[in-house]
Structure 1
Amino acid sequence: MVEKFDIKQLRYFAMTKRLNFLIGSGASVPAIPLMSVFKTEGISDEKANNSLSDKIKGVSKQVIEGIYKTSDGENIETVLKRYSEFIKVILQLLYHANSRQVTKNINIFTTNYDLFIEKSLDELMKYESFVFNDGGNGYFNRILDSANYNKSVAYRGLNDNYLNELPTLALIKPHGSMNWERDQEDNILIRQSVVENPVVVKPTGLEGQETFLNNHFHDMLRVFQLELDKPQSILIVIGFSFQDKHIAKMLNRSLKNPELNVFIFCYSESDKQIILTNLSLSDCPRNLNVIIPNELEEKYTSKNISKDGSDWFSFDLSNLTELLRDVSFEE
Structure 2
Amino acid sequence: MKQDNIIATQGLTNLFAGQPDMDSTDKKVEFIKTKLREFFNLKNVNFLFGAGTSNGAIDTMSELYKHLKFSEDEKNEEKEFKSIVAKEGENLENILKVMYSARNYYNGIHDDDKKAEDDITHYKELYDRLIKKIEGHIFDSINVDFATKECPKILGYYTTFYQKLAMRNKDLSRIRVFTTNNDLFNETALDSLNIHYINGFSGGLRRFFNPALFNYTWSKRMDTSIDKYEPIENLVYLYKIHGSINWRESTPLPGNFFEIEEFPSSDLTSDKACLIYPTPTKQDKSLGAPYVDLFREFQNKLLEPHSVLFVIGYGFNDRHVNDIIYRALATNSTINIVIFSSKPKDEDREKKPIFFVDDNRIFTFSGKVWDVDDEENKVEGSKHTINHFDYIVNELLPNLDAFKKEDNLVRFVNQLNNLTKDKK
TM-score (normalised: structure 2): 0.64
TM alignment of 1:201-220, pairs within 5 A: 201-212=276-287, 214-220=288-294
- Which whole-Å deviations, capped at 9, do the CAs of 1:259-311 have from their partners, x for residues lacking one? 11110101xx45586886533343242211122125xxx4xxx779xxxx988
1:279 aligns with one of 352, 360, 383: 352
RMSD: 3.0
Structure 2 Cα separation of the partners of residues 271 and 303 of structure 1: 26
Contact 1:26 1:240 in 2 (8 A): yes
User: Where does residue 235 of structure 1 map in the other structure?
Assistant: 309
In structure 1, give the amino acid aligned to 2:49.
Answer: I
2:364 matched to 1:290? Answer: yes
Question: Which residue is 1:146 aligned to?
Answer: 211
Partner-residue secondary structure (3-state), 1:164: strand
Change (3 A) 1:278 1:7: farther
**Which residue number corresponds to residue 170 of structure 1?**
237
Distance, in Å, in 2 between the alignment partners of 1:327 and 1:10 is 11
Are 2:189 and 1:117 equivalent residues in the alignment? no
Greater relative CO (CA pairs within 8 A, separation 6+): 2
CA distance in 1, matches of 2:317, 2:297: 20
Unmatched segments (≥5 aa) in structure 1: none
Q: Distance in 2 between matches of 1:323 and 1:14?
A: 16
Change (3 A) 1:184 1:312: same
What's 1:181 paired with?
A: 248
Structure 2 counterparts to residues 17-166 of structure 1, below 5 A? 17-39=43-65, 45-46=95-96, 51=134, 54-57=137-140, 59-63=142-146, 68=147, 73-92=148-167, 94=168, 97-98=169-170, 100=171, 102-103=172-173, 105-125=174-194, 130-161=195-226, 162-166=228-232
**Cα deviation, residue 323, structure 1:** 4.0
C-alpha deviation, 1:165, in angstroms = 0.9
Counterparts of 1:155 and 1:271 in 2: how far apart (Å)? 47
CA contact (8 A) 2:58 2:144 kept: no
SS in 2 for 1:163: strand
- Decide whether aligned partners of structure 1 residues 253 and 157 sit closer, same or farther in structure 2, where only a CA change above 3 A counts: same
- Structure 2 CA distance, aligned partners of 1:151 and 1:86? 23
| The structure with more radius of gyration | 2
Q: Point out the more displaced range, 285-294 or 225-234.
A: 285-294
1:198-248 Cα offsets, whole Å, 9 max, x none, are 101011111111101x12101101100000000111111100011001111
Could you tell me the percent identity over the aligned residues? 23
**DSSP-derived class of the 2:150 partner:** helix
User: Residue type of the partner of 1:84?
Assistant: T
CA distance in 2, matches of 1:183, 1:52: 19
Q: Which residue of 1 aligns with 2:388?
A: 316
Aligned partner of residue 56 in structure 2, secondary structure: coil
8 A Cα contact 2:337 2:361, kept in partner: yes
Specify the alignment match of 1:195 in structure 2.
268
Aligned to 1:16: 42
Q: What TM-score results when the alignment is normalised by the length of structure 1?
A: 0.80
Q: Distance in 1 between matches of 2:295 and 2:179?
A: 10
Offset of residue 326 of structure 1: 3.3
Deviations 1:118-156 (A, max 9, x none): 11111111xxxx431111011111011211110012111
CA distance in 2: counterparts of 1:276 and 1:139, whole angstroms: 48
Provide the secondary structure at the position in 2 that maps to 1:31: coil
Alpha carbons of structure 1 residues 274 and 34: separation in structure 2 relative to 1, 3 Å: farther
Deviation of 1:317 after TM superposition, in Å, equals 1.4
Task: Please state how far the C-alpha of 1:86 moved relative to its aligned partner.
Answer: 1.2
1:19 is paired with a residue whose SS is strand
Q: Check the 8 A contact 1:276/1:283 in 2, yes or no.
A: no
- Are the structure 2 counterparts of residues 115 and 228 from structure 1 closer, same or farther at C-alpha, using a change threshold of 3 Å? same
How many pairs does the alignment contain? 299
Unmatched segments (≥5 aa) in structure 2: 8-15, 17-27, 67-84, 97-129, 253-257, 373-377, 403-424
Distance (whole Å) between structure 2 residues aligned to residue 49 and residue 225 of structure 1: 32
CA separation in 1, counterparts of 2:290 and 2:305?
A: 25
Does the aligned pair in 1 maintain the 2:33–2:396 contact within 8 Å? no
Amino acid at match of 1:207: K
8 Å CA contact 2:33–2:398 kept in 1: the answer is no
2:351 partner letter: N
